[in-house]
């Protein structure tokens, strides 16, 4: 399937970004450090050193910049892994994973913060 076909199916426009984040699959589980590469109101694409199989539910904490302030603030959302691909880092041979996450249960305040961030990027 071509990229154009995928883009045409998207409900929310994605914005390229680089945001620190972390996720965990269950309470008390290991916290995986991740980096978001693009973001929309519907979800995000990120890289992770930790593998999460497709359909894994994650508690995600995005470090979202706040307009007018230098320090990012945490935004907690729930997501599910809808796509994953294992990749090898060219520099050191470590395994990394590219994950596509779909937001589930996005609260109204979280949605407004995302809308504001996306409108200003």
Degrees (nearest 5) of the Cα angle 75, 81, 82? 125
Is residue 6 pLDDT above 80, yes or no? no
**Tell me: the pLDDT tens digits for 100-111?**
999 998 899 999
CATH code, 72? 2.40.10.220
| CB atoms closer than 10 angstroms to residue 65 | 16
**Tell me: the pLDDT tens digits for 88-103?**
765 677 788 999 999 9
Domain carrying residue 106: 3-119
From the list 21, 43, 24, the residue with the least C-alpha distance to 34 is 21
What pLDDT, on a 0 to 100 scale, did the predictor assign at position 77?
Answer: 95
| Number of domains the chain contains | 1
**Tell me: the pLDDT tens digits for 35-72?**
999 999 999 999 998 999 999 999 999 999 876 666 88
CB 63 within 8 A of CB 32: no
């Amino acid at each position: 399937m071509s990229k154009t076909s995928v883009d045409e199916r998207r409900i929310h426009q994605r914005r390229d970004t680089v945001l620190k984040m972390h996720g965990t699959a269950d309470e008390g589980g290991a916290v995986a450090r991740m980096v978001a590469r693009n973001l929309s109101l519907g979800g995000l694409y990120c890289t992770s050193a930790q593998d999460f199989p497709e359909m894994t539910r994650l508690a995600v904490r995005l470090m979202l910049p706040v307009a007018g302030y230098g320090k990012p603030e945490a935004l907690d959302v729930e997501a599910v892994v809808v796509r994953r691909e294992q990749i090898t880092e060219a520099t050191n041979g470590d395994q990394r994973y590219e994950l596509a996450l779909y937001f589930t249960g996005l609260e109204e305040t979280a949605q407004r913060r995302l809308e504001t961030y996306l409108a200003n990027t």
